[in-house]
Amino acid sequence: MVSLVRVQGQIDEATAAKAVLEEKYQKLSVINETLKYEIENSTDPETIEEVARDKLGLVLPGEIIFYDMSN
């Protein structure tokens, strides 16, 4: 009987670990799809501009950058 309780505890732990891994898998799948999209559209001028602005912080000549210093 003690062995059965121990095995049930191991099953419960494995089930919880599986749920955590499935959640991580879902999040990584979304990231993977986003990266695939970015790779496939990496030659699109609009995508290049978006990456340059959002990820690299670049701006076009003559543009003015405003920073919110209130936070």
| Extents of the domains making up the chain | 23-58
Q: Provide DSSP, 1-28.
A: -HHHHHHHHHHHHHHHHHHHHHHHHHHH
pTM: 0.56
pLDDT recorded at residue 37: 87
How does pLDDT run across 10-65, given as a tens digit for each residue?
A: 999 999 999 999 999 999 999 999 999 888 888 888 888 988 999 999 999 999 98
Q: Phi/psi of residue 41, each to 5°? A: -105, 20
The type of residue at 12 is D
